Structure formats: C-alpha cells, structure tokens
Amino acid sequence: MKKHTFGFVLLELIVALTILGIGFSIFFGSMSASARNISRLERFQNREQSTKNLLAELDLIESLRAGDSASGSFKDGTRWHLDVESFVQSLQNPISVVRVVLRLEWDGNSGAQTRTIETYRLARTPTNPRSLGDELRELQ
C-alpha cells in the first residue's frame, strides 16, 4: 500500500512541475516580447526627438532658398534628406513661402522604412549665399 501512495505522489509531483514549467515558459516569453516592444518604442521616440530637433534647427536658419538640400544621419543610424522647394514667391516682396520636404529612412524589423514630412516656412531673400548643409553643420 505504501508503494501505491508513493507512486501517486510522484505522479502528482511530475504533473505539478510540468504545469509550473509551462507557466514559467509563458511568463518568460511574454517578458521577452515586452522587452522587444520597449526597445522598439525607445528607438521610435529617439527618432521622433531627433526629427523635431532637426526641424527646430531649420527655424534658426534665416534664409531658406528653393533648390537647397541637405542630408545626414542621426545617432541611431536613421538617414535624413531635406529638400527646399518653391511654394509661393512674391516678386515685390523679399519674403516667400517655401516647402520643406524631410525624408527619413531607417532599417526596421520588416525591412527598410521611410517617412516623409512636409512643412512650410517663410523665407527671406538670402544675404549670404551659404548652403543649407553648411548652415545646419554650423548650428550643431
């Protein structure tokens, strides 16, 4: 009779350990997925902040000209390219409106990712003919 009881307890212990093992594997799997999602969110936030900083630097440049362009990359490897296009130009007034097109490219989980942001700025006729890239480098 003791052998029968010992075998039953051993079987219960094996079943309990199996259930516990399955529970731990589900728990650690969800923790791993959460860590990947947190990492992806942090990369997104860093890219967004770098983009905002770049657009804020454009506000500090006094004269944007149609045809200007600049490119570079952020610390996280995101590549960016700026193009300035004519939008509204006044012949009597030295102030015009230009369209600034910012293209972002980065390597995501599912391959290359791109995003295009368009904004509009007032632009004065430049007094010094420096390139947009030179002015951005000077601000940094």
- Report angle CA 49, 105, 83 to the nearest 5 degrees: 85
Between CA 98 and CA 103 the distance in angstroms is: 16
The pTM score is 0.68
Type and span of the H or E element at 138: helix 132-139
- The answer to whether the Cα torsion of 85, 139, 127, 97 is positive or negative is positive
Q: What is the pLDDT along the chain (140 residues), one digit of tens a residue?
A: 455 676 678 888 899 999 999 998 998 888 888 888 898 899 889 999 999 999 998 888 877 888 889 999 999 889 999 999 988 766 666 778 889 999 999 987 778 899 999 999 887 766 666 777 777 777 66
Strands across the sheet with 111-124, in order? 69-73, 79-88, 95-108, 111-124
Q: Provide the residue ranges of all domains of the chain, joining segments of one domain with +.
A: 2-139
